[in-house]
């Protein structure tokens, strides 16, 4: 990444999450999606929200503990008694269990935030396209791009369009809005 241009663009775009609440999380084909919206709102098909899709390593941590991370997708949940379960199956993994414990409940495969925590308080971006989201309650979501040849993350806006880190470069979709209120890429 270009340390000056793309880092600022990433900061500006992810900065739109400031004041937004982590509403829920879902895993789709081993890509973890986190949905953010106004505190008090719900994520459904009719309500606009920000979506952060992560294909690179990530974790949610406190100052002294990793609470859950990307690799937990391949570990059996503590309460999973399915003898036929294998790593990578769509349910029954530790990642969903820990996210549900953190956010409040597991509903139809989604970890749903039933608490008042997890509002984005800060965004810090590094020159490699990684970032840290400081969340209320003392939690940090940390994202670590690890490849120059694949998509690492995608950030979709409520108004349509997306920004992504792909092949080591920040890119935007052709649907990315270009108005003043949408900010730069």
Distance CA 182, CA 176 (A): 9
Residue 174 binned pLDDT confidence (cut-offs 50, 70, 90): low
Q: Among residues of the chain, what percentage have pLDDT more than 70? A: 88
Q: Residue 44 class from Cβ within 10 Å (0-12 exposed, 13-18 middle, 19+ buried)?
A: exposed
**Over the stretch 124-146, which tens digit does the pLDDT of each residue have?**
999 899 999 999 999 999 999 99
For 124-162, b where at least 16 C-beta lie within 10 A, e where not — what string? ebbebbbbbbebeeebbbbbbbeeeeebbbbbbbeeebb
């Amino acid at each position: 990444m270009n340390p000056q241009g793309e880092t600022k663009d990433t900061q500006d775009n992810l900065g739109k999450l400031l004041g937004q609440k982590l509403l829920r999380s879902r895993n789709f084909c081993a890509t973890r999606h986190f949905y953010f919206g106004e505190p008090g709102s719900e994520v459904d098909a009719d309500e606009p929200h920000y979506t952060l899709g992560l294909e690179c390593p990530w974790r949610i941590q406190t100052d002294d503990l990793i609470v859950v991370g990307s690799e937990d997708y391949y570990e059996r949940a503590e309460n999973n008694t399915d003898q036929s379960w294998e790593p990578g199956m769509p349910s029954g993994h530790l990642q969903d269990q820990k996210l549900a414990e953190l956010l409040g409940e597991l509903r139809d495969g989604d970890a749903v935030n039933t608490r008042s925590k997890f509002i984005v308080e800060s965004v810090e971006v590094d020159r490699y396209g990684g970032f840290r989201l400081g969340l209320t309650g003392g939690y940090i979501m940390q994202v670590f791009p690890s490849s120059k040849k694949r998509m690492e993350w995608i950030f979709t806006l409520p108004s349509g369009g997306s920004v992504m880190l792909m092949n080591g470069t920040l890119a935007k979709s052709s649907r990315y809005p270009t108005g003043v209120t949408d900010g730069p890429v």
